[in-house]
Amino acid sequence: MHDAAHGVTLDEIYHARARIKGQVSRTPLWHSRALSERFAAEVYLKLENLQPTGAFKLRGVTNMIAALIERHGHDALAKGVTTASTGNHGRAVAYAASRLGVPAVICLSTLVPANKVAAIEALGATVTRIGQSQDDAFEEARRLVKEEGMTLIPPFDDPLIASGQGTIGLELLEDQPDLDRVILGLSGGGLLGGTGAALKAIRPQLNVTGVSLSAGAAMFESLTAGHPVAVEEVESLGDSLGGGIGLDNRCTFALVRDVMDDHFQVSESAIANAMIDMLEQEKMLVEGAAVVGLAALEEHQIDIKGQKVALVLSGNGVSLETLDQARQLAKR
């Protein structure tokens, strides 16, 4: 499991936890009575939507920036930081940069919703809108690194990023040591890969379940092909799960391949139903990407009877406009 090809080990995840302590929230694991009754299981919700930036991404970003300063000093970031993002990662980079007083340029495709753009700009970062996909936005970020000397903080494909996200796995098993299954959204693979690495190292028998969108599922398509492939990015209620994994992926492809046990794809209507369920039943307004675990349980009738299951609610970056779209699409 601790494949040198991806560089994410339990030791690295513990190092990440030490680096991010005090800067990132240790989020609650909330027992859902309604979902437990519905699925005849013990269902828990890992509330990453309660992070200061509203999503889990702050873990990986904080770990990477702290590690860079640890290794090279503050001068390493003197010319600023940049990244490409579907929204939540960009917000995390902007937040961390603002706290350090370094400039940040966040490159976003035109598919990123306006509310996520506004949240990034509110933190003082410069936003550049470019292209129709995260891959297009990444080209601009790479140009800024090459020509302006900025430091790239990748959204997922780096051992420091994935190890930061892996701290979720440590917290899950501290709060519920005998979990049977953890269900997570799958996009670039930082969240599932890092968290899965921690979970599998500590509790190998635990089932790690990934959930992707029904279209544009880059990591799943790549795993099926046996190598990274490009997919067309599409608009979705689960927009945070859009984007490619990079044809030169060096970390998360191998990591997800090692730690994921099974995988499901979910439709837009299933995501819509789950978003409305989460609001009505749990009184939580979360984004589409955060509810794909619940969407998969419903749409695919996954049998979790009698199990202890955790769903990772990855973020809260949803606008009222998107919520309205979900409400109209939900089968009520």
Over the stretch 19-61, which tens digit does the pLDDT of each residue have?
Answer: 999 999 999 999 999 999 999 999 999 999 999 999 999 999 9
pLDDT of residue 320: 87
pLDDT of residue 248: 92
Asked if domains 10-56+158-329 and 58-152 share a fold, the reply is yes
pLDDT of residue 76: 83
pLDDT class of 332 with cuts at 50, 70, 90: low
Report whether pLDDT(331) > 80.
no
10-56+158-329 under CATH 3.50.50.60, yes or no: no
Mean pLDDT value across residues 254-275: 97
For 128-150, the pLDDT digits (tens) are 999 888 788 989 999 999 999 99
- Count of CB atoms situated within 10 Å of the CB of 123: 19
Q: How many CA atoms lie within 13 A of 132 on its CB side?
A: 5
CATH class of the domain whose range is 58-152: alpha beta
Q: Which sequence positions are flagged as catalytic?
A: 57, 314
For 235-245, the pLDDT digits (tens) are 899 988 988 89
How wide is the angle at C-alpha 211 spanned by C-alphas 190 and 176, nearest 5°?
Answer: 75
pLDDT of residue 3: 47
pLDDT of residue 2: 42
- 11 token code pair: 């030791």
pLDDT of residue 234: 85
For 167-221, the pLDDT digits (tens) are 999 999 999 999 999 999 999 999 999 999 999 999 999 999 999 999 989 999 9
Break the chain into its structural domains and give their ranges: 10-56+158-329, 58-152
DSSP assignment of 5-26: TT---HHHHHHHHHHHBTTB--
How far apart, in whole angstroms, are the C-alpha atoms of residue 185 and residue 9?
21
For 289-326, the pLDDT digits (tens) are 999 999 999 999 999 999 999 999 999 989 888 999 99
